[in-house]
Amino acid sequence: MEVIYIFRGLELAKKSFERNRVYLLNHIVNNIGSIVFGYINVRIWLAVLGNSKEGMEAVTYLMVNQAGLWLVMFLPYGCYLPKKVYDGSIAYEMLRPYGLLYGSFFEIAGHIFYNFLFRSIPIFLFSIFVMGISLPNPHQILPYSITLINGILISFFINYFIGLWSIKFLSINGVQMLYYFAGTLFSGAFIHLKYYPDFFKDIVMSLPFAYTTYVPTAVYQGQFGLIEACIKQWLWIIVLFITAYTLTNRLTKNMAIQGG
């Protein structure tokens, strides 16, 4: 039975991937905008730090994050759940043999894999050949990949909570804006944590956002240990999973369905 569920999950991921591929041309345009935005940030930091070792480290940090944001921040609103609540299709999701959390995970997995191939990789390659960012040391590639996957899982759960919010309160505009504000401020996506005041660093590292963006990139640059990163990321994954599982069971017992 578990094997059947896995195949069904992979089929969901495949459909999500193919749904995104329809908009490939639009996403290429988005990539251009993302590259331009990253280039502007890079020029600002180089103007401040100069073409020094610290300046090039900042360039690498910024552009690795710019490529990674498509995997950890720019996910579908609420893992597609708000749209399903609005049009009533959430009712069909509740009839499926697997849980809502399980199905949402594989849908997002397909979306993330698409973004990895057609968004993150092009931006990363452009950053290497045009902006001259540093490649990781060979022994850092696997640690970076592990911590990035952990960061993706954390980001998925945070985004999934927005979807659960829509089940209870229908509108997600306010909580979505709060999510992007918190993610931008506390993730270290655009400013390395070493430039933050010490008291603010402590706040940032006590929240899950830094473990989606800052920590993987710091591992990429050899500035954060793999073991410490994984322990803290796994603790967040466990906490967020238990919370998501519990809230899903409670909220789906009394759910308002729109549309249909």
DSSP string, 117-130: IIIIHHHHHHHHHT
**pLDDT for residue 177:** 87
22 pLDDT more than 90: no
Q: What would you report as the CA-atom Rg of the chain, rounded to the nearest whole angstrom?
A: 19
| Amino acid symbol at 245 | Y
Instruction: Give the angle subtended at the CA of 235 by the CAs of 230 and 241, to the nearest 5°.
Output: 120
In this prediction, residues 238-249 reach a mean pLDDT of 95
pLDDT digits (tens, 9 = 90+) for 87-114: 877 877 777 778 889 989 999 999 999 9
Q: What distances in angstroms separate CA 237 from CA 10, 40, 157, 162, 167, one per listed residue?
A: 21, 34, 8, 16, 22
- Low-confidence winner among 135-139, 143-147, 152-156, 206-210 (lowest mean pLDDT): 135-139
The whole-model pTM stands at 0.92
Among candidate residues 253, 76, 88, the one with its CA nearest the CA of residue 170 = 88
**pLDDT for residue 136:** 82
**pLDDT for residue 255:** 61
**pLDDT for residue 1:** 56
